[in-house]
Amino acid sequence: MFCTSCGAQNDESNMFCTVCGTPLEHDSVQESNATPNADDGKSHVHVNNQGYGYGQRPMDFRNAGATQMPTPMAQSPAPQPSMAQTPSMSQPSMSTPAGTTAPGTAGMPNAGTAAVPAPVQNRDKIIAIIAAFVAVAAFGGIAVSALTPRGNSTSTAPAQSAQSAQSSQSPTYGGSDEASTGTPEQAMGKVVSVSAGGSFDLAVDANGKAWAWGYNGHGQLGSATGSDSQSTKPVQVAIKGTVTKVAAGTDHGLALTSDGSVWAWGANDHGQVGDGSAAVSVGKPTKVTGLSGVTDIDAGDRYSLALKSDGTVWSWGYGDGGRTGHGIGNSEDTLEPQQIAGLSGVIDIGAGTKHGIALTNSGEYTTWTWGGGSNTDGPVPIPNAGDVAAVDAGNQYSIVLHRDGTVHGWGQNDKGQLGDGNPKAWQAQLVDAEGMPSITAISAGDSHVLALGSDGSVWAWGLNDKGQLGSGSGSSTVPVQVGVSNATAIGAGGSRSVAATSDGQALSWGDGTSSPTEMK
């Protein structure tokens, strides 16, 4: 009699099919309905393209002579296409030991409706073919996973794929999800703006990119190394947007973009980065919290200043000595920008080591200072400062540029930083102008000053222990000319100086280098 499920021929005495385990129906009508092939009239077992045989479902590869019990069937997966014909392969003569199950085959799920059958002659031939095929798979090197039905298979991509996908993406820069993406420029363009810090310099090129070089122990180069590394060549500080100005503090940097946003990075031990965090350092640029409409920036010793388009001044960072402008009695660190009370109509700002300075224009030009340990509750006006055009602050001294191109200074003068030839004076003094042209820009370092002449010359005075005057001589209480003839921008820092030239070069000196050196 024939099995109604797989079509295999069975003895009349069998209760279950010796091939697939299906209960046999002993009705004579059912026997005559075994699935015939239109061509040869024989029942068929199909071999699918995954290597196991099935009639209307995958066959249970058990020995035909063993006592068989019905095998519970799992839910049928989608039907699998069969091969156009039975695979041709040399089959060794072997049989499966009685009472055992071929590896990886017991309880296989239903495969759905059978495809076009491939004829076989009888049950013994079927079993022999199947047993031989399984034996080859198990012992001849064919992967057992090849016998897994498609519906349950798991595809594993090459191990290289995920890594390649990750490495092919452009690196992301910045300390927030607003940070810029993309590969940094390989070379600095023509430099248009510069700033010198405690141990590093910053520059902006004509493409609106920010660049840095020098010491990077606190991430002040924006490269997030957090180590005692340094770079003698410019490296890009990747910032989202077009950078218009940079400001270098003692160990942190600021950048202003064309949309009025401020970005900060580097040392953050007193909140000078302004992102609201208490992280010791921030190695990649992060957008300063709550600031918009900013037109100018400056960075001092562990604190920062920003001037907004409405004429207000905002500060954050180290409050010691009142340097953030919130009063001598309010010296706590400020982790996010706060407005400095009492200042309005401001047009210029300067951040010194321990005090700040601002210039207002509310009908007349007024210079204000705060901090430095002074016994004041905030900014106070400086009397008789004159018709001032620009201001800046150093380490306990202030410098102002008048609209007639002359320079005044007051405060600490032990290193000659007021430039009047008298290192003992503290009152406002006129910088000795002998041989110096009309001045168009000023920059105050820790204990030295740079001035930009209308003819592109650069002048310096004050301390020169690290070559920051660029003159090749000692410290000077009067201005000396630096060997730069075509400067367009200047910056004085801790013990270093930097200048941009009309042909787009960035020249740096100080910190052990006594003459201007091109950075490239």
Parallel/antiparallel/unpaired status of strands 458-462 and 243-248: unpaired
Question: What tokens does 114 get?
Answer: 């059978």
Question: Is residue 139 within a helix (H) or strand (E), and if so which, with residue range?
Answer: helix 123-139
Sign of CA dihedral 76, 80, 82, 88: negative
Residue range(s) defining the domain that contains residue 84: 1-153
pLDDT at 433: 75
Among 252, 257, 234, smallest CA distance to 178 is for 257
Would you say residue 85 lies in a domain? Answer: yes
Give 20's pLDDT tier (boundaries 50, 70, 90). low
Give the DSSP per-residue string, 348-381.
EEEE-SSEEEEEEESSSEEEEEEETT-S-SS-EE
Assess if residue 313 is contained within a domain: no
Share of the chain above pLDDT 70, in %: 64
| Nearest-angstrom CA–CA distance, 62 and 127 | 8
Identify the sign of the CA torsion 110, 116, 122, 124. negative
pLDDT per position as a tens digit, 222-257: 976 555 689 999 999 999 999 999 999 999 999 999
Q: What's residue 108's pLDDT?
A: 36
Split at pLDDT 50, 70, 90, the class of 494 is very high
Q: Is residue 181 part of a domain?
A: no
- Banded pLDDT at 389 (limits 50, 70, 90): very high
Which residues are registered as beta bridge partners of 266?
A: 252, 282
Q: Which of 149, 167, 266, 174 is nearest to 215 (CA)?
A: 266
Mean pLDDT of the chain: 75
- 239 within domain boundaries: no
Comparing 119-128, 301-310, 336-345, the range with the smallest average pLDDT is: 119-128
**Confidence (pLDDT) at 424:** 76
User: Across residues 488-511, what is the average pLDDT?
Assistant: 98
Residue 6 lies in a domain: yes
Is residue 370 included in any domain, yes or no? no
Q: Which residue has the higher pLDDT, 1 or 410?
A: 410
- CA dihedral for 424, 429, 431, 433, sign (positive or negative): negative
**CA–CA distance, 467 with 445 (Å, rounded to integer):** 13
What number is the average pLDDT over the span 165-192?
Answer: 53
pLDDT for position 256: 99
pLDDT for 84 equals 40
Number of domains, the chain: 1
From 368-377, 378-387, 467-476, the region with the lowest mean pLDDT = 368-377
Q: What is the pLDDT of residues 308-342, one digit of tens each?
A: 999 999 999 999 989 999 876 667 899 999 999 99
Confidence of residue 163 (pLDDT cuts 50, 70, 90): very low
**Local confidence band at 218 (pLDDT 50, 70, 90 cut-offs):** very high
Task: Concatenate the DSSP letters of all residues of 373-418 into one string.
Answer: T-S-SS-EEPTT--SEEEEEE-SSEEEEEETTS-EEEEE--TTSTT
Of the candidates 13, 43, 211, which has an alpha carbon nearest to the alpha carbon of residue 114? 43
> Is it the case that residue 143 has pLDDT exceeding 90?
no
Is 33 part of a structural domain of the chain? yes
Mean pLDDT within 108-136: 46
Global pTM value? 0.66
Residue 466 has, within 13 A of its CA and on its CB side, a CA count of 18
| More reliable by pLDDT, 184 or 283 | 283
Pairing mode of beta strands 118-119, 200-205: unpaired
Report the side by side order of strands in the sheet with 44-47. 53-54, 44-47, 118-119
Q: Which of 229, 221, 230 is nearest to 184 (CA)?
A: 221
Q: Which helix (H) or strand (E) holds 131?
A: helix 123-139
Note the pLDDT of residue 93: 39
Whether 235 is covered by a domain: the verdict is: no
Backbone phi and psi for residue 191, each to the nearest 5 degrees, phi listed first: -80, 135
> Which DSSP state fits 485?
S
Distance of CA 412 to the CA centre of its chain: 42
Measured CA to CA, the distance from residue 370 to residue 24 in angstroms comes to: 103
pLDDT at 140: 41
